[in-house]
Chains A and B, each alone.
Chain A
């Protein structure tokens, strides 16, 4: 993922080419630059109008009071100050942090476990079936899988509770209790994303040099030592990618909560993103909603930057 493009060689001037006048090279160069701008124009315009413009606008709006009906009124950092007094925001941030933490641990933990299991010598067809089964939920819209899980989580009629009571457990109010509504969101998020993370791990595991593992075994290392000292460092690149992706994804959990619990009971399972949407599009408090959104953006950016900073200390770059 290098950002610097290798220097492309300019084609040598055609021996008997078009024009043939002096200064041909600069004309070619200029034509090539023009082509470059034309080729990138749609993308750049899209970027300016639909990403950069809105980003700047969001920052401006966050400094105003704006209810859509009357013009935005500049209020400085009032919206940001207001965030510190907002208990609902604290609750939703608390939930979001829980979702992020759970996603990092559970998704990557299960993904690594299944990846290691799938990566052993198994019949080819079996590997294929397992890979497909684990990956399929990832391709289905979160809304649809949440609709299915909503039915499975029902307290009296749901399958989950049927099996729990059959095993002698108590019925769980998955969707309407303040603890379990969060657990339900976490279960669906883990279930859906584990397959993608697993595939990344599998791809990385296949790049681990077999002779290095053999050599370590020959030297008397047990399986755990091989895993801890060789495999884990060799796949650290994939681990880094997975953790970054799960953090960014979990900060934005939205659809599953809408379908499963609607944020409830009360705000028990509501995420920051849901809260932003509510403040903006139900209460039309655009300035305040923008301030929350900008802060969320900054937090995600900060976490990602810290991740990249820490990267040097544990990611093996060969």
Chain B
């Protein structure tokens, strides 16, 4: 689905013929335009300022962390807070590793199971197909808080509490991914499938060699979304994991922050900067995909 519609990146991009009607020399920007750009700039500053403050504070000595008036640009590049944050009492590198293991395992599982199911729901006939799909889809409406207590009891019964498997197992399948991929495969011309079948390919071969490679973009998007979702998760980890050694990064950081923000703020900001880095990288690399795939379902209805 992600390669069928790409979000036009500038207003008016959807109507190419329109440009011609507009006189080349337009009247200069109006007052209204200045005001609206001003508002947009203000809003953008409000969005970015907290991250800027985080970064500059991470480069300052803890004693100056709360200096007022606040300094927005780094005056020195003192990376010692990063070293201290890493070697501090909270093993944030270990926590980061735990987060990465869980997020990678969950993403790999999801990009294996969801496209298979999505393909079956879109292209294979089997009794009960539609009712199963609708049932599956309705699970999107079940909030995590309802199932968390039985899940906790289940993991406890399996002896999986405080074990990354308690987060990986429930994460490797999910309705959202199936829905995304089914949408993609529905758009795939049936002739391609039929041709492969007529050439004697089995259903598995058709899927693996024909359909799946075509779904590359949709699968990558699903992988990124799943990774970020798991990397950012707090609620379930906070309940299933209870030792600092198994904790994921968000749990470690909350521990580091301490009650009522009593921790060393410069070190906490250094650690938070480290924690945010993957989101920043994913953002820089995959922004277009993510935006396109996130906005499509809403607009197309």
Chain A residues close to B by CB (< 8 Å): 1, 3-6, 8-12, 14, 17-18, 29, 31-37, 39-40, 42-47, 49-55, 57-58, 61, 68, 110, 113-114, 117-122, 124, 126-137, 139-145, 147-152, 154, 157-159, 162, 166, 175, 191, 195-196, 199-200, 202-207, 210, 237-238, 241-242, 248, 251-252, 254-255, 258-259, 262, 273, 276-277, 280-281, 286, 289-290, 293-294, 296-297, 300-301, 304, 317
Contact = CB atoms under 8 A, between A and B. Distances in A.
B121 A40 contact: yes
A11 B197 contact: yes
B254 A203 contact: no
Interface string B124-149: 11110110111111010111111111
A124 B12 CA distance: 11
B40 A36 contact: no
Contact of B291 (A32, A114, A135): A135
A300 B143 contact: yes
Interface string B1-15: 000000111111111
Contact of A117 (B40, B129, B178): B40
Given A46-B173, A203-B299, 7 more contacts: A3-B137, A8-B125, A144-B272, A262-B260, A277-B145, A293-B145, A297-B142
Main secondary structure of the interface of B (DSSP, over half): helix
B12 A210 contact: yes
B235 interface: yes
B151 interface: yes
B114 interface: yes
Interface residues of B, number: 120
Contact of A207 (B50, B68, B299): B299
A40 B295 contact: no
Contact of A297 (B143, B175, B182, B250): B143
Contact of B254 (A45, A53, A128, A147): A147
Nearest to B124: A36
Interface stretch (B41-49, B76-84, B87-95, B215-223): B41-49
A54 B39 CA distance: 47
Contacts of B54: 148
A296 B190 CA distance: 43
Contact of A120 (B33, B142, B190, B280): B33
Contacts of B151: 50, 54
A296 B146 contact: yes
B40 A1 contact: no
A79 to B, nearest CB: 12
Nearest to B194: A11
Interface of B: 7-15, 18, 33, 36-37, 39-40, 43-44, 46-48, 50-51, 53-54, 57, 66, 68-70, 112-114, 116-117, 119-127, 129-130, 132-137, 139, 141-154, 169-170, 172-175, 178, 182, 186, 190, 193-194, 197-198, 200, 203-204, 207, 228, 231-235, 238-239, 250, 253-254, 257, 259-261, 265, 268-269, 272, 275-276, 279-280, 282-283, 287, 290-291, 294-301
Contact of A42 (B8, B9, B117, B144): B117
A196 B122 CA distance: 29
B268 A147 contact: yes
B147 A150 contact: no
Nearest to A258: B254
B44 A130 contact: yes
Given A45-B173, A297-B146, A200 B53 contact: no
B146 A55 contact: yes
A61 B150 contact: yes
A134 B42 CA distance: 11
Contact of A151 (B13, B198, B265): B265
A197 B296 CA distance: 13
A262 B53 contact: no
A282 to B, nearest CB: 11
A54 B117 contact: no
B47 A18 contact: no
B8 to A, nearest CB: 6
Contacts of B276: 140, 144
B150 A58 contact: yes
3 shortest interchain CB distances as A-B pairs: A46-B173, A36-B126, A141-B232
A134 B39 CA distance: 13
B47 A136 contact: yes
A42 B54 CA distance: 42
Nearest to B173: A46
B299 A150 contact: no
Contacts of A58: 146-147, 149-150
5 contacts: A3-B134, A58-B149, A262-B259, A293-B149, A296-B143
